[in-house]
A and B are shown apart, each in its own frame.
Chain A
Amino acid sequence: MSEFVLPSLGADMDDGALVSWLVGPGDAVERGQIVAEVETDKGIIEVECWDDVVVEELLVEAGDTRLAVGTPIARFRSADESGSAAQTTVPDETPQRQGTVEKPAAAQRITPPVRHLAHELGVDVGRVGATGPGGSVTRLDVKREVTATSAPPGNGRVKASPLARRIAADGGLDLALAAASRTDGLLVAADLAGLANAAPGTKPRRGGQPGVDKSQAMRSAIARSMERSKREIPHYYLDMRMDLHRSLSWLEEFNDERSIADRILPAALLLKASALALTEFGDLNGHWVDGVFHHSEIVNLGVAVSLRGGGLVAPAIRDAASLTLSEMMEALTDLVARARAGRLRGSEMAEQTVTVTNLGDRGVDRTFPVIVPPQVAIIGFGRVVDSPFVVDGELEVRPIVHTTLAADHRVTDGHTGGLLLLAIDRLLQEPQQL
């Protein structure tokens, strides 16, 4: 029997609401099967179970209540355990005879009611100074111990109005980061405007619908992540112009031979090349956690997807380096569709080892991307533009893309970053190998 807890579905996720169960007691669950849907600041994420189990009991009802990551939400038993409910043997206790007096511990004379009070108040009886008759511990002794060891009042509590608390809770904001405008130090709703990254000049959202404003929550989540990135990660930037003539010609031929549903976009080529290059340069693929870099063997490629109506998510294409181009295209299409529909899976949101952002379609020449913590690199592609390019000493017009790498200088230096970009370029010159 094991407890299934609410998993972390993203590097900076603290809590989520279990909005629906997809399994019930008695159901058999296969490894990888989706068992529930959890609403986070990034939208609804599907939660997978990674063992073959049978559902014993659901511990939490589906609803809007936010649960902390790690909260037990179900009990499963392994699929090979016996079907009947596990019988726990009741330990054999010798029943107390009526009238038996409980012998107090030799070290401490304390009556049962006082012992019970100590237990209720969380006081360690052994530490209490006894002032009662015969050296026994009195109620007063216990209470004195509580006052002596409890934290001074107000310690750790933020003074905030109920409305401010609600807005902070709904938007995943940290009240400790807000500055009070009132002279009495009480945080009010208006003080949270900065935290929520409101555009300058806009009035902070007040009241109205109680409950979650999803785009606000996502905006706050992005804000927190980007703040952390710029605060903690020393970025360095490298940029390279890459000639996509070979790639695009090859792609045109490839697509010509295929029906529309099997066509591949240039983006898939760029993603594959990036993923392959990263297998050579592992120092750019992994997580920086508590001062240590954890390299990842597999490239789980986070793909930045902008959501219609605002917002951004970067779910992962898992093991991107091992996919064929067609598989990559399929994965990309599926991911974008589900990201926009708000139907991403937990594993996609938590396992990215690196991110690629492609704003070429939007018309920017070059990106200056921001690393998504705890990753250590991000690759950005700009617009493919026919540009002058020198080939074998001759000036030609080629489709050029600016590829930019932003990387964490704690882990790599420009030399490594430069080699990565070279590797991507080389791969894009041999598209048939991708």
Chain B
Amino acid sequence: MTTDEAKATIFEVLDGIAPEVDAATVEHDVELDEQLDLDSMDFLNWLIGISKATGVDIPQRDASEFLTIDGAAAYVVSHAAA
């Protein structure tokens, strides 16, 4: 999986959780909780969604990698099967 593919999936899942967000306005290297209104349940659902869509398991201790879009994409790419 390439970084772009990972990001596309990540944004798709995000869109299901926060449909009012315009993906174009989200900065990839800025912490998401500064840019978006996501509570802990949204965040968990986002991780679950990414995990389901990419097949990548995300243990609790790795959740901190998902603070930014770049971080999330990097994790997915490095852990994806192909």
Contact = CB atoms under 8 A, between A and B. Distances in A.
Contacts of B51: 260-261
B81 interface: no
B60 A255 contact: yes
A362 B39 contact: yes
Contacts, number: 39
Contacts of B39: 361-362
A260 B51 CA distance: 8
A332 interface: yes
Decide if the interface of chain A is mainly helix, strand, loop or mixed: helix
B57 A259 contact: yes
Interface string B30-46: 00000001011100110
B80 to A, nearest CB: 15
Interface stretch (A124-132, A188-196, A262-270, A292-300): A262-270
A405 interface: no
B20 A308 contact: yes
Q: How large is the interface on A (under 10, 10 to 19, 20 to 34, 35 or more residues)?
A: 10 to 19
Interface residues of B, number: 18
A308 B48 CA distance: 20
Contacts of A263: 44, 60
A360 B39 CA distance: 9
Contact of A260 (B19, B40, B57): B57
Interface string B46-59: 01100110000111
Contacts of B60: 252, 255-256, 260, 263
A356 to B, nearest CB: 14
A5 B68 CA distance: 51
A361 B32 CA distance: 13
Nearest to B45: A333
B74 interface: no
A260 B13 CA distance: 15
A260 B41 contact: no
In this complex, which of B20, B40, B57 has the most chain A Cβ atoms within 10 angstroms of its Cβ? B40
Given A260-B47, A333-B41, A336-B41, A308 B18 contact: yes
A403 B47 CA distance: 28
A308 B44 CA distance: 16
Contacts of B44: 260, 263, 265
Given A308-B19, A309-B20, A333-B45, A256 B40 contact: no
A337 B18 CA distance: 11
A260 to B, nearest CB: 5
A265 B39 CA distance: 11
Contacts of A255: 60
Contacts of B40: 265-267, 360-361
Nearest to A359: B39
Contacts of A265: 40-41, 44
A256 B59 contact: yes
Interface of A: 252, 255-256, 259-261, 263, 265-267, 308-309, 332-333, 336-337, 360-362
Given A261-B48, A333-B45, 6 more contacts: A259-B57, A260-B58, A261-B52, A308-B18, A309-B20, A337-B45
16 contacts: A255-B60, A256-B59, A256-B61, A260-B44, A260-B47, A260-B48, A260-B58, A260-B60, A261-B48, A265-B41, A267-B40, A308-B18, A333-B41, A337-B45, A361-B39, A362-B39
Would you list the 3 A-B pairs with minimal beta carbon distance, nearest first? Answer: A361-B39, A255-B60, A260-B51
